[in-house]
């Protein structure tokens, strides 16, 4: 699987940050913005960044009641506030929303991607663009680490990113 004609890709410098990406099926789906980050994008919130700090920081949000910290449990609990529960499979299922949670080499949460209706995944790359990627592995072997947990919930009405 590789690049297709007419599909917008990241520039080469950005693509190099994700070693699996260049050889995978992906495309840029938005302009770059610092308004939101990957966790917010996976949570369908494009108004602010989601991350936890010891006290509130302007521009950042973390759900009330969710655990705080760098561990995967904190990220899981954030998505639990949205109705997600841990599941075993990343395979698309009709009427089901899924997210993939990544941890880095230190075991700390680093990224989240959400599954699209077509079974592919959608990710916001930090301050860069949103991308569609065919598999969760496309972003592995990078600072995002590895997709280690999947969560699901009954599908809700989505507002897709631009």
Binding residues for another protein, how many (CB under 8 A)? Answer: 27
29, 30, 51, 146: residue in contact with another protein (rule CB under 8 A) = 51
Query: Should residue 20 be labelled a site residue for another protein when binding is judged by CB under 8 A?
Result: no
**Nearer to another protein by C-beta: 75 or 80?**
75
Tokens of 37: 């980050």
Listed in sequence order, the residues at least 6 apart from 17 whose beta carbon sits closer than 8 Å to its beta carbon are 142, 143
Residue 43 tokens, joined: 């949570």
Angle at 150 between CA 138 and CA 79, to 5 degrees: 115
In angstroms, what CA-CA distances link 137 with 60, 61, 104, 140? Answer: 27, 27, 13, 5
Q: Which of 28, 39, 101, 103 binds another protein (CB under 8 A)?
A: 39
Q: Which position among 2, 12, 55, 118 is part of the footprint of another protein (CB under 8 A)? A: 55
| Residues at the site binding another protein, with contacts judged by CB under 8 A | 14, 17-18, 37-39, 49, 51, 53-55, 57, 60, 104, 106, 108, 110-112, 124-128, 142-144
């Amino acid at each position: 699987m590789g690049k297709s004609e007419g599909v917008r890709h990241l520039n080469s410098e950005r693509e190099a940050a994700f070693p699996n990406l260049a050889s995978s099926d992906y495309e840029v789906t938005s302009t770059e913005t610092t308004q939101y980050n990957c966790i917010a994008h996976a949570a369908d919130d494009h108004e602010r960044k989601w991350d936890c700090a010891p006290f509130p920081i302007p521009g950042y949000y973390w759900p009330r009641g969710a655990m705080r910290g760098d561990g995967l449990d904190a990220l899981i609990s954030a998505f639990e506030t949205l109705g997600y529960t841990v599941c075993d499979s990343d395979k698309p299922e009709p009427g089901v929303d899924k997210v993939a949670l990544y941890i880095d080499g230190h075991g700390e949460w680093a990224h989240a991607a959400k599954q699209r209706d077509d079974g592919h995944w959608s990710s916001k790359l930090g301050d860069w663009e949103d991308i569609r990627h065919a598999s969760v592995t496309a972003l592995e072997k990078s600072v995002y680490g590895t997709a280690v947990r999947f969560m699901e919930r009954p599908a809700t009405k989505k507002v897709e990113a631009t």
